[in-house]
């Protein structure tokens, strides 16, 4: 019995060593897909900043201005979910030369503007009601998921085209994909920092166009391994 087991073990080992490791010819390529989109909405971060020597008075003045700002936003018929208080602060500041304290109160409101045709009216009204600091304006697209999908498809098409270019001189064909790696970076809309300015038109009744939104790029990157046939 032991002899039979020994013979079977030797036979199994021999068969294992006799098997060849089959190599699969592959090509690894990368692809990028880019979709240029005209933004159709914007996120604004706007702030009321108030300074003074009495903490209670500074906070009261700041609250009154913010109340007026919120009333104006409601008059613009923005959805309640499209604006919110982002941060509130009341900080003491010490003047070492005068050896006295002063206070700085700020409240920041974040607003999602879904209709860019209202941009000028909104900005002008915010400033009139007490906004004295525009932290940033970020342009974006309401159809981000759709454009990201288009960018991914373009990236895959470019990867396959690259692979076909490389192997066309070898008399081979590109087969099925073995692995696909998504190397895309998380999309963050780029802010446009705005300075406070008072602009006067020669004809005050004429509509003003003060916004040039340009285009935003939505990009996808992939790495693909194709089998060669």
CA 124 to chain centre: 26
Token pair of 229 as six digits: 């046939």
- pLDDT score for 210: 59
pLDDT by 10-residue block (mean), the chain, 229 residues: 47 50 85 93 95 94 96 95 94 84 94 94 94 91 94 96 92 92 77 44 48 80 95
Q: Where in the chain is the domain with CATH 3.30.110.170?
A: 22-39+141-229
- Architecture of the domain whose range is 41-140: 2-Layer Sandwich (3.30)
Q: Where in the chain is the domain with CATH 3.30.70.2970?
A: 41-140
Beta strands in the chain (DSSP E): 26-37, 41-52, 83-95, 100-113, 133-140, 174-182, 191-192, 216-228
- pLDDT score for 20: 55
Looking at CATH, the fold of the domain delimited by 22-39+141-229 is given as Translation Initiation Factor IF3 (3.30.110)
Query: In this structure, how many other beta carbons lie within 10 angstroms of the beta carbon of residue 74?
Result: 11
Residue 117 per-residue DSSP state:
G
Query: In this structure, how many other beta carbons lie within 10 angstroms of the beta carbon of residue 113?
Result: 21
- pLDDT score for 93: 87
């Amino acid at each position: 019995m032991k002899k039979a087991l020994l013979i079977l073990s030797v036979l199994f080992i021999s068969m294992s060593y006799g098997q060849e490791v089959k190599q699969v010819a592959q090509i690894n390529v990368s692809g990028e897909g880019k979709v240029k989109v005209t933004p159709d909405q914007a996120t604004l971060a706007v702030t009321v900043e108030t300074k003074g020597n009495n903490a209670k008075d500074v906070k009261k003045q700041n609250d009154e201005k913010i109340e007026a700002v919120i009333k104006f936003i409601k008059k613009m018929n923005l959805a309640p979910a499209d604006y919110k208080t982002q941060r509130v602060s009341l900080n003491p500041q010490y003047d070492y030369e005068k050896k006295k304290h002063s206070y700085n109160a700020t409240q920041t409101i974040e607003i999602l503007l879904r209709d860019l045709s209202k941009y000028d009216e909104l900005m002008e009204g915010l400033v009139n009601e007490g906004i004295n600091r525009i932290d940033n304006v970020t342009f974006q697209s309401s159809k981000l998921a759709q454009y990201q999908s288009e960018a991914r498809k373009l990236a895959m098409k470019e990867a396959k085209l690259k692979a076909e270019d490389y192997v066309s001189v070898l008399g081979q064909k590109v087969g099925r994909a073995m692995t696909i790696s998504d190397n895309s970076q998380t999309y963050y809309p780029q802010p446009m920092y705005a300075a406070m300015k008072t602009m006067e038109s020669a004809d005050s009744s004429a509509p003003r166009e003060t916004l040039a939104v340009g285009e935003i790029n939505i990009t996808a990157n992939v790495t693909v391994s194709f089998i060669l046939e």
